[in-house]
Amino acid sequence: MGKSIRILPAILTRDPAELGKMVRLAESFTDCAQIDIMDEQFVPSKSVSCEDIAGLKIKLQWEAHLMVLRPEDCINDFKKAGAQKIVFHFEATPTPEKTILAIRKLGMQAGLAVNPETPLKAITALVKQVDSVLFLSVNPGFYGAEFIPEVLDKIVEFRRAYPQMEIGIDGGIKEKNISKIARSGVDVICVGSAIFRQPDPSASYNRLKALASSAIS
């Protein structure tokens, strides 16, 4: 197919000390990662804060996945902390267009995240304004949540409608399902517990990459 799929390690913790360990670990096997931020409002759980991230000297490129209400209120902080991209949830703000514009004005890429229950028609007007669309394949807010396979049908439909758009998927990805996920048409697969909660995270990352690549070769 001539296509490659990126595996993006997803860092999620509420412990600042563990954040530092996970970042250093990720730096040992990849040059790009996603850091998940949760506010205990948009989702039931809470994670580290932007201040915790800003205190680290992160060597790799990273994007912030904001699972927070009114993400527009903290975009400046994540820019200062060093994020190259902001991925925010369509469902988390009444003004997604303004949020995209604010991200762009700060020179960052903008990604739109979509919860499993949100229909594709709800985001149609925004697709051409963003750099990527991230489909949540779990109900967000819990590390290691159960994969929702119906999301793959949405991705297949979305890929047909937007063949050039960068599509990501996030949530519940394991070695047992990554081949099927890779064949759905995604470009980026965000993986958390199947990397960081394994005995050898680097080896798990490389196995997931190999499985995804072989699925589309």
* Sequence ranges of the domains in the chain: 6-216
**The predicted structure's pLDDT at residue 1:** 41
Q: What CATH number is given for 6-216 in this structure?
A: 3.20.20.70
Length of the chain: 217
Tokens (6 digits) for 194: 């199947």
Mean pLDDT of 84-105: 98
Q: In the predicted model, is pLDDT for residue 15 greater than 90?
A: yes
Task: Give the pLDDT mean for 35-40.
Answer: 96
pTM of the model: 0.96
State yes or no: pLDDT of 73 exceeds 50.
Answer: yes
pLDDT per position as a tens digit, 101-156: 999 999 999 999 999 999 999 999 999 999 999 999 999 876 667 899 999 999 99
When pLDDT is averaged across residues 87-94 and rounded to a whole number, the result is: 98
Q: Which whole number is the average pLDDT over 88-99? A: 97
Active-site residue identified among 39, 77, 131, 170: 170
Q: pLDDT confidence of 3, banded at 50, 70, 90?
A: confident
Whether residue 2 has pLDDT greater than 60: no
Residue 46 has pLDDT above 90, yes or no: yes
Three-state DSSP at 201 gives helix
**Half-sphere CA count of 182, side-chain side, radius 13 A:** 23
Residue 153 designated active-site:
no
Is 131 labeled as catalytic in the residue annotation? no
Query: Is the C-alpha dihedral spanning 39, 40, 42, 44 positive or negative?
Result: positive
Which pLDDT belongs to residue 140? 85
Q: CA-to-CA distance for 165 and 66, rounded, in angstroms?
A: 20
Angle at 113 between CA 107 and CA 114, to 5 degrees: 155
